[in-house]
Amino acid sequence: MSTRTFRELPYQRPDLSALSTVYADLTSRLNTAATGSDAVRVVREWNTARIHTGTMGSLAEVHFTQNVADADAKAEKLFYDENGPSFSELDVTFSRSLLASPHREFISKEFGELFLTRLQNASLTFEPSIMDIMVRESELCREYNELTASAQIEVDGEVYNLSTIGKLVIDLDRGVRQRSVAEMYQFLTIHANQLDTIFDELVKLRHEKALRLGYASYTEFRYVEFGRVDYDASDVELFRAQVREHVVPLVSVLRNAQKKRLALETLTIADEKLQFVDGNPVAAGDHDWIVERAHRMYSELSGETKEFFQLMLDADLLDLKSRDNKATGGYCTSFSSYGLPFIFANFNKTTHDIEVLTHEAGHAFQAYRSRSLAVPEYFWPTAEACEIHSMGMEFLTWPWMNLFFGEQTDKFRFYHLQGALLFLPYGCAVDHFQHWIYANPTATPAERNSMWLEIEKLYMPWRNGSNVPAVAEGRTWQFQRHIYETPFYYIDYALAQTCALQYWKWSENDRAAAFASYVKICDVGGSKPFLGIVEAGGLISPFKDGCLQSIVDYSYKWLNDNYPEQLATL
């Protein structure tokens, strides 16, 4: 494994012509392989080639998101956007030869049947006939990313971006909160036509892509593309129904208690982020101070996490500071040729700084643990399982939160657990909305906004944004990057949060066993599908009747036992 720092990792744009020649040779050798061992040898060479190409793509993506105004980085991002479908075509063509190989059974024994299932799904979601759509999709997503990253929002004479304004929406002065929220959402109003146009085209393109490949809808296509092999849309609807039945009522109680804590007659969207009248818990130091304490935390958590986080520091694999022209949000990726994960975030001096660090570190730890698995399909599991690692890490690091929050530690734990519960209805609202969007691909922007308002009433009946035009119009979803860039991803967070809450509950009673299970599922990587990973960890399926009710009942009792004054509704 490389010990080079991130800045020392060599990047070279792949030569598509040369790669085509390599793939043609690999395909020929696979088709003429005399033995299973010969076929496996060719597959290993293919894996090496595509891991390298994927690593270069990851480097290009990181360089671009670090500075969307960098012309060279944008040019490389553009190369992958335009040529990504061609890379996919090469891989799918080879995959189809592999799937048809007389040595398929031998290959399955070597790499696992799930490997072949993943390749089969990839072959079912790609044909050269959709390459033009894939290129245009990437262009539109890049346009959305650049637009949101360039936001300049002026509040009280100071200019903020969509990351740094986060500290204003939790200001103790309600006037500051109201002005900052109004100006933030004014961005959506100002750019309404552009945002609507981008998304409208994305929906129509995605619908057309599914039809070209023979699917009845983009929803059906996306479930296959996402590798959801052990559950379907009907299971997801059952989960959403559990959230509506068990979680929404509890969250309504939590929102009412929040209103009382803040001594407000009405809780508006400008107040939603502020949980305490004396302010949300905030880490007491700056970026360097937080990273220093994170180092201590991961050194004490376990030997495995100590080794992992030391590598992250030594190889400069953390980009956490917010700055102009840096893409919004946070993510984890990996440079698989070098066995290195990478964390990208935007610290903004809110509680979220610690949450995003532990969240993305969970992803990175899993990627680190599974970096040596047999095939690239196993480096990462499917998205909903990936998010168990991230959200689980948030809870498993609770014993070290005093390092960051000191006397505010109890306040943080209340804030964090409540936040996990508050998220579930929102996560399901986004998913419900997307199912409606792709069931109604000809809907107008106004109809989409109207439907979002209806869905908000169903999952977030407490929301009051009537005094903010973009909110009243139903545009809040346009800040949710996943809806534009990675449709149908968001339910993964809700499913994973249900599993992460199980880890929290488990660690309250047997911390060692909970952490051992967590490391086990990180080691599994993507070698099992979602429910297989849940079972391997000894967790309960989020789809199982009663799973959410059990979590809600335990969580409410725990909050009431430990923080009765915070839940008092007076």
- Average pLDDT (22-35) is 97
Q: Write out the two tokens for 488.
A: 């149908």
Whether 329 has a pLDDT exceeding 90, the answer reads no
Q: How far apart are CA 98 and CA 95, in angstroms?
A: 5
Could you tell me if 77 and 492 are in contact, meaning their C-beta atoms sit under 8 angstroms apart?
no
- Average pLDDT (68-90) is 94
Q: How far apart are CA 420 and CA 416, in angstroms?
A: 6
Q: Write out the two tokens for 439.
A: 């069931």
Q: Write out the two tokens for 525.
A: 């990587």
Residue 231 lies in a domain: no
pLDDT tens across 196-222, in order?
A: 999 999 999 999 999 999 999 999 999
Whether 2 has a pLDDT exceeding 60, the answer reads no
Residue 346 lies in a domain: yes
Per-residue pLDDT, 386? 95
Q: Which residues pair with 318 in a beta bridge?
A: 343
- Average pLDDT (534-560) is 95
pLDDT tens across 296-313, in order?
A: 999 999 999 999 999 999
Q: How far apart are CA 59 and CA 57, in angstroms?
A: 5
How many domains are there within the chain? Answer: 2
Q: How far apart are CA 287 and CA 536, in angstroms?
A: 36
The set of residues, in sequence order, having a beta carbon less than 8 Å from that of 331 and lying 6+ positions away, is 65, 343, 344, 360
Whether 540 has a pLDDT exceeding 60, the answer reads yes
Q: How far apart are CA 62 and CA 336, in angstroms?
A: 14
Q: How far apart are CA 381 and CA 232, in angstroms?
A: 17
Whether 150 has a pLDDT exceeding 60, the answer reads yes
Residue 337 lies in a domain: yes
Q: How confident is the model at residue 565 (pLDDT cuts 50, 70, 90)?
A: confident
Whether 570 has a pLDDT exceeding 70, the answer reads no
pLDDT tens across 86-113, in order?
A: 999 999 999 999 999 999 999 999 999 9
* C-alpha torsion 309→312→315→320, nearest 10: -140
Structural domain span for residue 120: 6-136
Per-residue pLDDT, 426? 98
Q: Write out the two tokens for 253.
A: 């109680």
Q: Which residues pair with 320 in a beta bridge?
A: none
Q: How far apart are CA 404 and CA 291, in angstroms?
A: 10
3-state percent helix, strand, coil for the chain, nearest multiple of 5: 70, 5, 25
Could you tell me if 527 and 373 are in contact, meaning their C-beta atoms sit under 8 angstroms apart?
yes
The set of residues, in sequence order, having a beta carbon less than 8 Å from that of 453 and lying 6+ positions away, is 474
Domain boundary among 84, 111, 136: 136
Residue 510 lies in a domain: yes
Residue 477 lies in a domain: no
Q: For the chain, how long is the longest CA-to-CA vector?
A: 78
pLDDT tens across 356-410, in order?
A: 999 999 999 999 999 999 899 999 999 999 999 999 999 999 999 999 999 999 9
Domain boundary among 136, 170, 198: 136
CA dihedral over 49, 53, 54, 59, signed as positive or negative: positive
Residue of 403, 349, 166 whose CA lies nearest to 274 = 166
Per-residue pLDDT, 569? 55
Residue 488 lies in a domain: no
Q: Tell me the whole-structure pTM to 2 decimals.
A: 0.93
Residue 47 lies in a domain: yes
Strands 153-155 and 318-321: unpaired
Between the ranges 77-81, 161-165, 191-195, where is the mean pLDDT highest? Answer: 191-195
Q: How far apart are CA 355 and CA 419, in angstroms?
A: 11
- The average confidence (pLDDT) of the chain is 95
Q: How confident is the model at residue 255 (pLDDT cuts 50, 70, 90)?
A: very high
Q: Is 373 left (phi over 0), alpha (psi -120 to 50) or beta?
A: beta
Domain boundary among 103, 136, 169: 136
Residue 506 lies in a domain: yes
Per-residue pLDDT, 163? 86
CA 106 to mean position of chain CA atoms = 35
Q: How far apart are CA 37 and CA 75, in angstroms?
A: 41
